Chains A and B, each alone.
Chain A
Amino acid sequence: MTQKKPGTLDRRAAVHELLRDRGDALIVTGLGSPTYDVFAAGDHPGNFYLWGAMGGAAMVGLGLALAQPQRPVIVITGDGEQLMGLGALATVVTKKPQNLTIVVLDNGHFGETGGQVSASGLGFDLHRVTVAAGFAAVELYELAQIAEYRPRLTTIGDGPRFVTLRIAPGNLPRALPAREGVYLQQRFRAHLGFAVE
């Protein structure tokens, strides 16, 4: 097992760059820092922030992508969260959702709990796994690469896509969106035009 080059991207800058032209994309975030990063890039009713349900972000994204095939769906989560739901990579690939992109902010650490090293930080190569699994997979190290990739996020047709963003370890000041799940659920559905009955 060879150790990879450490990520150096600033996570907030990376997510901000990624979502600069989100169009009508719907976004699901994994608990912890990815939720804060997406909120910091700009709150939006088409954002569904997870504050728990660890390991479930990609599957929430899949259910949403199947229900809304004409809308780009972007899951933004961390390496620790995705590693807890690694089986979901197999499940997602079997459904071939053309509108789904999973973005993992990979710093090789569990940031929320004190910076413990994750399997990714110990040499497990998530990017190569996603390539082997059959995703249209890329690994990005620089902001310019994110800017170049960005238009693909809002296109439909070459999914499922998987983007590993190699970010720097370390915690930034928290940016906290609403935690009230019923509110987030109803706000999201209202954004798609579903009435509260």
Chain B
Amino acid sequence: MGSELDWPAHIYRALKDARVQQASYVPDAGHARLIELLRNDPDVHTTVLTTEEEGVALSAGAWLGGQRAVLLMQSSGVGNCVNMFSLLANCRIPFLALVTMRGEWGEMNPWQVPMGRAAPQAMEIMGIKTVRVDTAAEVADAVSAAATMVFDGDQSIAVVISQKLIGRKQWVAK
């Protein structure tokens, strides 16, 4: 973890305060603790996806049925979602995503770089506002503010969590 603050727990609290009842994800190491917290909560439906665009459709279905949802993914998953984002735009369905970044800081896998570089713009051009977070101290507030705009203001927002905050991936044991 890149910080001593337990920021995933703060995100979890912010999601609970926002009355989020469904969470779907393709796992990312940066989201591992948050996924664990959500999976251990009997009041949250957690759904592991085979690909991220499923989560966009799942969030839309949850909203139709009166529940609030969040999609967790890493930046590489954004590209998988692009056409499905049109569902949100056409139906003005509130949408909250938490995107952990790869390919931008201390990254030794070049295959992560192109989609990481394009992910924020890919969301913006499809009508999803992005809110970038670089420090642990600001994460919970960013998620809370985004959730308010999403669920009370009918917006689509992705909170983009920087790779510097998540910490370098350890490729070999030290």
Q: Do A and B bind each other?
A: yes
Residues of A bordering B, CB below 8 Å? 26, 28, 48, 50-68, 85, 87-88, 90-91, 94-95, 181-182, 184-185, 188-189, 192, 194, 197
Q: List 28 A-B contacts (CB under 8 A).
A: A51-B90, A52-B86, A53-B57, A53-B83, A55-B84, A56-B53, A56-B54, A56-B56, A56-B57, A59-B55, A59-B57, A60-B87, A62-B61, A63-B59, A63-B61, A63-B64, A64-B64, A67-B65, A87-B49, A87-B51, A91-B54, A95-B45, A181-B91, A181-B92, A185-B93, A188-B64, A192-B65, A192-B66
Q: Residues of B contacting A28 with CB < 8 Å? A: 61
Q: Residues of A contacting B50 with CB < 8 Å? A: 87-88, 90-91
Q: Residues of B contacting A197 with CB < 8 Å? A: 152
B87 touches A66 (CB 8 A): no
- Given A59-B61, A94-B47, A189-B66, A52 and B54 contact (CB-CB distance below 8 Å): no
Please tell me which one of the listed residues B21, B67, B87 contacts residue A56 in the complex, with CB atoms under 8 A apart.
B87
CB distance from A149 to the nearest CB of B (A): 24
Digit string of B119-146 for contact with A (CB within 8 Å is 1, else 0)?
0000000000000000000000000000
Would you call the interface of chain A mostly helix, strand, loop, or mixed? helix
Q: How far is the CA of A64 from the CA of B84 in the complex (A)?
A: 17
Interface residues of B in 59-80 (CB under 8 A from A): 59-67, 69
A87 touches B54 (CB 8 A): yes
Q: How far is the CA of A182 from the CA of B22 in the complex (A)?
A: 22
Max chain B Cβ within 10 angstroms of own Cβ: one of A28, A60, A194: A60
CB distance from B137 to the nearest CB of A (A): 32
The 7 closest A-B pairs by CB, nearest first: A63-B61, A67-B65, A87-B50, A56-B57, A181-B90, A59-B57, A181-B91
Residue in A closest to B69 when the chains form the complex, CB atoms: A63
Q: Residues of B contacting A194 with CB < 8 Å? A: 66
Q: How far is the CA of A58 from the CA of B62 in the complex (A)?
A: 12
Q: How far is the CA of A65 from the CA of B61 in the complex (A)?
A: 8
Q: How far is the CA of A12 from the CA of B121 in the complex (A)?
A: 43
Given A66-B61, A192-B65, A192-B66, 18 new contacts (CB under 8 A):
A56-B53, A56-B54, A58-B57, A59-B55, A59-B58, A63-B22, A63-B59, A64-B62, A64-B64, A65-B65, A67-B22, A67-B66, A91-B48, A95-B45, A181-B87, A181-B90, A185-B63, A189-B66
Max chain A Cβ within 10 angstroms of own Cβ: one of B21, B53, B55, B59: B53
CB distance from A104 to the nearest CB of B (A): 16
- Given A85-B54, A194-B66, A67 and B47 contact (CB-CB distance below 8 Å): no
Residue in A closest to B85 when the chains form the complex, CB atoms: A53
B62 touches A52 (CB 8 A): no
Q: How far is the CA of A184 from the CA of B63 in the complex (A)?
A: 13
Please tell me which one of the listed residues B45, B55, B64 contacts residue A189 in the complex, with CB atoms under 8 A apart.
B64
Residue in A closest to B89 when the chains form the complex, CB atoms: A181
Residue in B closest to A71 when the chains form the complex, CB atoms: B65
- Given A67-B67, A185-B92, A94 and B22 contact (CB-CB distance below 8 Å): no
